[in-house]
Amino acid sequence: MDPDEFERLVVDELDRLPDEMVDGLENVVFVVEDAPENGEDLFGLYEGFALTERGQYGLGELPDRIVVYRRAHLAACRDEAELRKEIHTTLVHEIAHFYGIDDEQLHDLGWA
């Protein structure tokens, strides 16, 4: 699947998330990249400061980033339905980090 088509799936899955989950996102951009520069095998990454860690945050700050990695998703999924499910899970997982939910809590909730 080419990068543009994959990005369309990511946008589509983002649009399908509940309003309660995305309405609170402030100063966050979503980015699709092929793979992490460091070679890690990741589906996604949250770069920024979780709401629970913000003090004087906001004025002049660069936006936080949620990155969805295309190659890892394509390698793990056999068809579009599976791909959509994995993208959805990745978006929920990384958005949860924005809200201050760590990997252990995500695992307990079934999102890791």
Instruction: Report how far residue 90's alpha carbon sits from residue 93's, in angstroms, rounded to the nearest whole number.
Output: 5
Q: Could you tell me the sign of the dihedral formed by the alpha carbons of 30, 34, 37, 43, in that order?
A: positive
Provide the β-strand partners of residue 68.
32, 44
Q: What percent of the chain is predicted at pLDDT more than 90?
A: 73
Q: Using pLDDT thresholds of 50, 70 and 90, give the confidence band for residue 6.
A: very high
Is residue 90 scored above 70 in pLDDT? yes
> pTM of the prediction?
0.90
Which amino acid would we find at residue 40?
E
Q: What average pLDDT score do residues 60-76 get? A: 92
Question: In terms of DSSP bridges, do strands 64-69 and 28-33 run parallel, antiparallel, or are they unpaired?
Answer: parallel
For residue 12, what are its two tokens?
């589509």
Polymer length of the chain = 112
- When pLDDT is averaged across residues 62-86 and rounded to a whole number, the result is 96
Span 8-56, pLDDT tens digits: 999 999 999 999 999 989 889 999 999 999 989 999 999 998 888 876 6
User: In the prediction, which pLDDT does 77 show?
Assistant: 97
> In b/e form, how buried is each residue of 55-86, taking b as 16+ CB within 10 angstroms?
eeeeeeeeebebbbbbebbeeebeeeeebbeb
